[in-house]
Structure 1
Amino acid sequence: MSFLMTTLREKKEVDSIIRDTIDKVLVLRFGRSTDSVCLHLDDILSKSAREVSKFATVALVDIDSEDIQVYVKYFDITLIPSTVFFFNAHHMKMDSGSADHTKWVGAFDRKQDFIDVVEAIFRGAMKGKLIVTCPLPPERIPKYQLLYRDL
């Protein structure tokens, strides 16, 4: 399903979509199209894209592209897939009970979970918030052991 969605491989493409997506949530999935968890997430994203199209834009970012590494480092993407959200060029954060509020790590269990998260981010952004609380119950939020480097 990855082939149905916009895939960004250059920093200028990512810069441009962040800058040009206005009054909608921008969903950027960082990963690779050969990874099974990414493929599962991409399937959910592509099936949801039309339903969220009024308030969100979804794009894939190829994590192996050399030009994208500045974003990979900036968002500390060590686990894939990692999904980052923006609204009007502002990085949107979400408290999902983990120490990292900057991104969603892993896939969503189901399409409705993704739609609920994007709706929550959109509603929060429309109220001027830069961080929202995850609307999903804890058992549907992927758990990862976060690795902290240089500690």
Structure 2
Amino acid sequence: MSYLLRTLTKKPELDHAIRDTIDKVLVLRFGRASDAVCLQLDDLLAKSAREVSKFVDIALVDIDSEDVQVYVKYFDITLIPSIVFFFNAHHMKMDSGTADHTKWIGSFQRKQDFIDVVEAICRGAMKGKLIVNCPLPPERIPRYQLLFKDI
């Protein structure tokens, strides 16, 4: 299903997507097409794309592409899949009770969870907020251990 979503492999493509997506939430999925969890998430994103197309643009970012490493490092993409949200070129953050508010790590349990999250981000962005609260109950938010390097 990931073939239904555009894949960005170069920094200028990412720059363009972030800068030129206006009045819509830009969903950037960082990951690998060969990863099982990424494939499951891509399938869910592809199935949701039409439903949310009026207020969301979705793109996949291949983290192994040499040309996007500046973004991989900037957003500290160490666990995949990771989703980073933007609205009118502003990085949107979400407080989901995890240590990292800058991105969504992991997949969603169901399509409606993804739709609820992007609706919350869109509503918050329209009110000028740069961080929103996650609308999902804690049991539907993926849990992970943060690994700290060089401490």
TM-score (structure 2 length as normaliser):
0.99
What letter matches 1:70 in structure 2?
V
The residue number in structure 2 matching 1:104 is 104
State the SS of the aligned residue for 1:29. strand
Instruction: Tell me the secondary structure at the aligned position of residue 150 of structure 1.
Output: coil
In structure 1, the residue matched to 2:119 is 119
Partner of 1:24: 24
Distance 1:51 1:22 in 2: 18
Distance between the aligned counterparts of 1:18 and 1:29, measured in 2?
A: 13
Runs of 4+ in 1 over 3 A off after TM superposition: none
Structure 1 regions of 5+ residues with no counterpart?
none
Q: What is the aligned-residue RMSD (CA, Å)?
A: 0.5
Deviation at 1:86, TM superposition (A): 0.1
Superposition pairs for residues 5-20 of structure 1, below 5 Å? Answer: 5-20=5-20
Instruction: Give percent identity, aligned residues only.
Output: 80
Tell me, what secondary structure is at the counterpart of 1:122?
helix
In 2, the alpha carbon distance for the partners of 1:118 and 1:108 equals 12
Q: Which runs of 5+ in 2 are unaligned?
A: none
Aligned residues: 151
SS in 2 for 1:54: coil
The Cα shift of 1:32 comes to 0.6
The whole-number CA distance in structure 2 between the counterparts of 1:82 and 1:14 is: 15
Q: What is the CA-CA distance between 1:150 and the residue it aligns to?
A: 2.6
